[in-house]
Amino acid sequence: MELEILSTAAQIAVALAGFAGVVVVFRRESVHEWSPIDKFRLRLLLSNSVFPLAYSVFAMLLLAMKPPPESIWRWCSGLAAICQIQFAITSIKRTHALSAADFKHVSKIVFYPLFALASAVLLLQFYNLAVLNWFWPFFAGIFVHLLGAMVQFFRLVLVLPANGKR
């Protein structure tokens, strides 16, 4: 069952990354001409697509071992925790690098709850690594990344770019 869930998550992640390409193609200006906030949203979309894909493929690799490692979900949560910490640090630095004018375009009603959810899932990864060794806490990390990617995709498609041009 876990293999099917991971396969589906990987397919969703690839689709979301592909949608990012569609967004880039249909914008008038090239990515290099986008506002800093729109570039930030694109990075979030791509990162939130690539990480679930990487987590899923790593877990599928471990599941392919015969027999699978006894601590498979600990290993997966360890990888997810390392990547999520790096992602959080990078995202926070990029958020702080935005000007006050650009930061006003950040939807606080979306940004802060997603950040809080991601923080809780990071703690869950550590708990799974240390105690549980269960699939669902690891999958929660994949879920949060995919949720973040979907939110950024909708924002890139439905919200008028910061420069006001479509």
- Residue 163 inside a domain? The answer is no
In a domain, 164, yes or no: no
The domain containing residue 114 runs over which residues?
2-158
Report if residue 79 sits inside a domain: yes
Q: Is residue 136 part of a domain?
A: yes
Which pLDDT tens digit goes with each residue over 15-46? 999 988 888 888 888 888 988 988 999 999 99
Query: Could you read off the pLDDT of 149-160 as tens digits, one per residue?
Result: 999 998 888 876
SS3 string, 32-44, reads: HHCCHHHHHHHHH
* Residue 77 maps to a domain: yes
pLDDT for res 23: 83
Residues near 35 by beta carbon (within 8 Å), at least 6 away in sequence: 102, 105, 161, 162, 163
> Would 165 be classed as within a structural domain?
no
Q: What is the pLDDT of residues 77-123, one digit of tens each?
A: 999 999 999 999 999 999 889 988 888 877 788 888 999 999 999 99
123 falls within a domain: yes
Give the count of domains, the chain: 1
Whether 129 is in a domain gets the answer yes
